[in-house]
């Protein structure tokens, strides 16, 4: 560049100023017209840098030597370019000096332009406290994008000197995540603020950084200002600024992510444990192929889980038809979003046939390609046990029917000769055809007649009970007057009580004028209950018979003040031939069929029997009969 002698002197003077200047300062000359070009259009103005001091070099991100002879426009930050060139052009045109302030992302700047002997001196002073390297660095990068990213990044970004590790700048995420303010940390090192839980980590990071120039996803743990420990992932890179090395670090807090990952891992492990150790067989299938099989499922069929995985379920069926039939049925159900349940005869690896309960549900009813979850259980044993139980029950039922039939036939056969015995013994006892001679014969005939009657009662009870059990007892439901029936029964019972000084009190609800039931059965029920009450109540006792309507039922209550029944016997006395072992049984006689018959007849009517009793206090038997019994009732 040609300069006159005068101009060179000026330039030297300016160069001295330039060297001493703390503020960034550059000397420029208009490009096209040489040192002085008054009247040049602003739009056309272009400037070449003559000299720049160190501060300007730092600001513009090049060495002072590199700036010399370079177009000013080329080195100015884009955001400054228009404004700076405009002021320069104005001073070039008008002469003198100009000053203006402007603000950009890196701060408030004051710019001064002075025209000195055809050279324009351009000086900047930072409006904010100067000396902030970061601003200069940022400005060096000059890219708004970077600044925005730096500011808004959810991750921590720091710039620190590589040699000492002093923070030059940190972003908001740093402040937010670690709890240190920017002012707290600028100029200090991460060690000084106690960030590293393991200081060796920083050394290792720096070592690999020096080796490779960058570090990616270095995991470590940071301590926040409040003492919390965070797990972090750091990626660092060295950057060169003004001949100095800095460390640009991007740090991501992965504490929460790690926690979630650990939780997920645990949940998965638990699921895996449940799946593997389940005592029922579970498999996940798609297109009838086993994708996942648990140990139990494989064991049911004699395979290992690995054997089955990837196989078609065809191998578990005895033949192709079974496989196809099962598939058609099950997938039709599951296709409607329902659960398929079925028991199938299947085949183990050793060829043995087993019954399997299969429960399947599609992951998505609409999309069969998403697979099906099956639960399998070997029910061979259960089915065998059920089968045996069913057979045993059928055999028992058959035996019971046979027994009842036998009893019915036998009772019938016994009654015929008994009738003759009774008739003839009565004739002899009463000596109807003349005296028998020896009076003892008449007495013996009387004993025969009494025993015969007892036998007949017993045979009748057995016959009735057998008929009921064999399902051959048919109720003859008729309408009758309960007042009359009950009165005759009570009268008979009084007769049985003889002169034992028992009070028998009958109370029938007046409204109960008609009852629908098998009259003979109701009479039998009443006679049996009353005979027991009389039998088991001591002289001077009391027997109350109360009959009342209770909703849809007629309630017949027979309460005595007799010996009572032990608690543990109450349930059993309703069974045939069961007797509560009390002192009266032996003396009072009886077979243990009375209450069983009452129970059976009441049940035939669709009613129920309840016994309340206390030893030495008394017994109350409550019979409930429906007012409108369903006829004929099924056999018990």
Q: Which residue has the tokens 């950084």?
A: 209
User: In terms of DSSP H, where are the helices of 68-111?
Assistant: 72-75, 78-94
Q: How far apart are CA 201 and CA 206, in angstroms?
A: 9
594 binds ligand ADP (CB under 6 A): yes
545 binds ligand ADP (CB under 6 A): no
Nearer to ligand ADP, 313 or 579 (CB): 579
Rounded (5°) CA angle 606-608-611: 170
Residues facing 189 on adjacent strands:
166
Binding test (CB under 6 A) with ligand ADP, winner from 563, 602, 604, 625? 563
556 binds ligand ADP (CB under 6 A): no
502 binds ligand ADP (CB under 6 A): no
34 binds ligand ADP (CB under 6 A): no
- Main-chain dihedrals φ then ψ at residue 407, nearest 5 degrees: -60, -40
Select from 360, 206, 196, 225 the least CA-distant residue to 290: 360
Q: Which stretch binds ligand ADP (CB under 6 A): 382-390, 469-477, 498-506, 582-590?
A: 582-590
497 binds ligand ADP (CB under 6 A): no
Q: How far apart are CA 47 and CA 87, in angstroms?
A: 12
Residue 20's Cβ-side half-sphere holds a number of Cα atoms within 13 Å equal to 5
Nearer to ligand ADP, 475 or 580 (CB): 580
Q: Which stretch binds ligand ADP (CB under 6 A): 145-153, 280-288, 385-393, 562-570?
A: 562-570
The 308-327 site mask, x for binding ligand ADP (CB under 6 A), equals: --------------------
525 binds ligand ADP (CB under 6 A): no
The beta strands (E) that lie in 390-464 are given as none
463 binds ligand ADP (CB under 6 A): no
Three-state DSSP at 210 gives: helix
Q: How far apart are CA 561 and CA 616, in angstroms?
A: 8
Q: How far apart are CA 453 and CA 449, in angstroms?
A: 6
Residue ranges in 182-241 that form contacts with ligand ADP under rule CB under 6 A: none
Q: How far apart are CA 458 and CA 466, in angstroms?
A: 12
Q: How far apart are CA 377 and CA 421, in angstroms?
A: 67
Alpha-carbon torsion, ordered 126, 130, 131, 132, to 10 deg: -90
Nearer to ligand ADP, 562 or 607 (CB): 562
- Main-chain dihedrals φ then ψ at residue 568, nearest 5 degrees: -75, -5
Nearer to ligand ADP, 292 or 494 (CB): 494
Nearer to ligand ADP, 289 or 458 (CB): 458
Nearer to ligand ADP, 87 or 530 (CB): 530
Task: Write out 354-366 in H/E/C secondary structure.
Answer: EEEEEEEEECCCC
Q: Which stretch binds ligand ADP (CB under 6 A): 251-259, 360-368, 376-384, 580-588?
A: 580-588
Q: Could you say which DSSP state residue 311 is in? A: -
Binding test (CB under 6 A) with ligand ADP, winner from 59, 533, 545, 556? 533
561 binds ligand ADP (CB under 6 A): no
Q: How far is the CB of 521 from ligand ADP (least distance, A)?
A: 16
524 binds ligand ADP (CB under 6 A): no
541 binds ligand ADP (CB under 6 A): no
Binding test (CB under 6 A) with ligand ADP, winner from 34, 590, 606, 632? 590
Binding test (CB under 6 A) with ligand ADP, winner from 26, 55, 573, 609? 573
Q: Which stretch binds ligand ADP (CB under 6 A): 3-11, 57-65, 321-329, 592-600?
A: 592-600
Q: Which stretch binds ligand ADP (CB under 6 A): 109-117, 331-339, 409-417, 573-581?
A: 573-581
Number of amino acids touching ligand ADP (CB under 6 A): 23
Strands 372-378 and 281-286: antiparallel
Q: Are 267 and 248 in contact (CB under 8 A)?
A: no
Nearer to ligand ADP, 24 or 564 (CB): 564
Q: How far is the CB of 452 from ligand ADP (least distance, A)?
A: 18
Nearer to ligand ADP, 498 or 510 (CB): 498
Q: Are 597 and 524 in contact (CB under 8 A)?
A: yes
DSSP codes joined into one string, 540-572: T-EEEEEEEEETTEEEEEEEE-S----GGGTTG
Tokens read off for 417 = 């000769």
Q: Which stretch binds ligand ADP (CB under 6 A): 72-80, 401-409, 506-514, 589-597?
A: 589-597
Q: How far apart are CA 267 and CA 265, in angstroms?
A: 5
Binding test (CB under 6 A) with ligand ADP, winner from 560, 602, 604, 607? 560
165: left (phi over 0), alpha (psi -120 to 50) or beta: left
Three-state DSSP at 434 gives: coil
Binding test (CB under 6 A) with ligand ADP, winner from 136, 313, 619, 624? 619
Binding test (CB under 6 A) with ligand ADP, winner from 580, 600, 604, 625? 580
Q: How far is the CB of 470 from ligand ADP (least distance, A)?
A: 20
Q: Which residue has the tokens 């009748």?
A: 460
Q: Are 70 and 49 in contact (CB under 8 A)?
A: yes
Nearer to ligand ADP, 429 or 535 (CB): 535
Q: Could you say which DSSP state residue 285 is in? A: E
162 binds ligand ADP (CB under 6 A): no
Binding test (CB under 6 A) with ligand ADP, winner from 185, 300, 565, 623? 565
Neighbours of 514 (CB within 10 A): 11
Q: How far is the CB of 579 from ligand ADP (least distance, A)?
A: 3
**Contact positions vs ligand ADP (CB under 6 A):** 528, 532-533, 536, 560, 562-565, 573, 578-580, 582, 585, 590-596, 619
């Amino acid at each position: 560049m040609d300069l006159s002698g005068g101009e060179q002197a000026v330039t030297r003077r300016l160069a001295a100023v330039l060297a001493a200047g703390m503020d960034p300062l550059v000397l420029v000359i208009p490009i096209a017209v040489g040192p002085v070009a008054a009247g040049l259009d602003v739009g056309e103005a272009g400037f070449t840098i003559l000299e720049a001091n160190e501060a300007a070099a730092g600001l513009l991100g090049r060495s002072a030597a590199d700036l010399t002879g370079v177009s000013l426009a080329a080195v100015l930050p884009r955001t400054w370019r228009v404004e700076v060139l405009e002021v320069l052009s104005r001073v070039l045109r008008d002469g003198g000096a100009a000053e203006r302030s402007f603000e950009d992302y890196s701060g408030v700047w004051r710019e001064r332009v002075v025209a000195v002997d055809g050279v324009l001196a351009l000086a900047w002073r930072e409006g904010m406290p100067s000396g902030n390297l970061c601003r200069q660095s940022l400005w060096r990068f000059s890219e708004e994008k970077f600044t925005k990213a730096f500011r808004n990044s959810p991750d921590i970004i720091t710039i620190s000197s590589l040699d000492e590790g002093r923070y030059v700048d940190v972003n908001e995420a740093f402040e937010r995540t670690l709890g240190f303010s920017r002012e707290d940390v600028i100029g200090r090192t991460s060690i000084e603020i106690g960030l590293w839980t393991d200081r060796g980590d920083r050394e290792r990071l720096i070592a690999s950084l020096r080796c490779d120039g960058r570090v990616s996803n270095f995991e470590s743990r940071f301590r926040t200002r409040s003492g919390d420990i965070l797990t972090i992932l750091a990626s660092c890179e060295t950057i060169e600024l003004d001949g100095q090395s800095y460390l640009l670090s991007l740090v991501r807090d992965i504490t929460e992510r790690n926690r979630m990952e650990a939780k997920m891992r645990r949940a998965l492990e638990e699921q895996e444990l449940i799946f593997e150790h389940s005592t029922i067989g579970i498999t996940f299938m798609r297109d009838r192929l086993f994708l996942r099989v648990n140990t139990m499922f494989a064991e049911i069929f004699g395979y290992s889980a690995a054997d089955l995985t990837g196989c078609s379920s065809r191998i578990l069926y005895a033949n192709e038809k079974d496989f196809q039939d099962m598939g058609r049925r099950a997938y039709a159900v599951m296709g409607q979003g329902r659960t398929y349940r079925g028991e199938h005869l299947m085949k183990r690896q050793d060829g043995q046939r087993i019954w399997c309960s299969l429960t399947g549900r599609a992951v998505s009813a609409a999309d069969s390609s998403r697979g099906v979850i099956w639960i399998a259980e070997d029910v061979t044993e259960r089915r065998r046990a059920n089968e045996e139980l069913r057979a045993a029950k059928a055999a028992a039922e058959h035996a019971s029917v046979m027994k009842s039939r036998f009893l019915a036939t036998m009772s019938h056969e016994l009654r015929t000769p008994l009738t003759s015995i009774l008739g003839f013994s009565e004739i002899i006892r009463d000596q109807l055809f003349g005296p028998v001679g020896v009076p003892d014969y008449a007495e013996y005939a009387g004993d025969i007649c009494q025993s015969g009657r007892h036998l007949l009662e017993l045979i009748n009870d057995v016959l009735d009970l057998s008929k009921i059990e064999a399902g051959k007892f048919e109720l003859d439901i008729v309408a009758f007057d309960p007042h009359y029936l009950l009165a005759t029964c009570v009268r008979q019972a009084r007769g049985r009580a003889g002169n034992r000084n028992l009070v028998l009190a009958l109370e029938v609800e007046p409204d109960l004028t008609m009852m629908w039931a098998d009259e003979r059965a109701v009479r039998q029920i009443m006679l049996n209950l009353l005979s027991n009450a009389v039998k088991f109540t001591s002289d001077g006792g009391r027997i109350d018979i109360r009959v009342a309507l209770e909703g849809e039922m007629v309630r017949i209550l027979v309460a005595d003040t007799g010996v009572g029944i032990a608690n543990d016997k109450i349930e059993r006395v309703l069974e045939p031939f069961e007797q509560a072992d009390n002192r009266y049984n032996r003396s009072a006689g009886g077979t243990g069929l009375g209450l069983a018959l009452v129970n059976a007849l009441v049940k035939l009517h669709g009613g129920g029997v309840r016994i309340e009793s206390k030893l030495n206090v008394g017994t109350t038997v409550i019979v409930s009969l429906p007012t409108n019994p369903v006829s004929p009732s099924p056999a018990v």
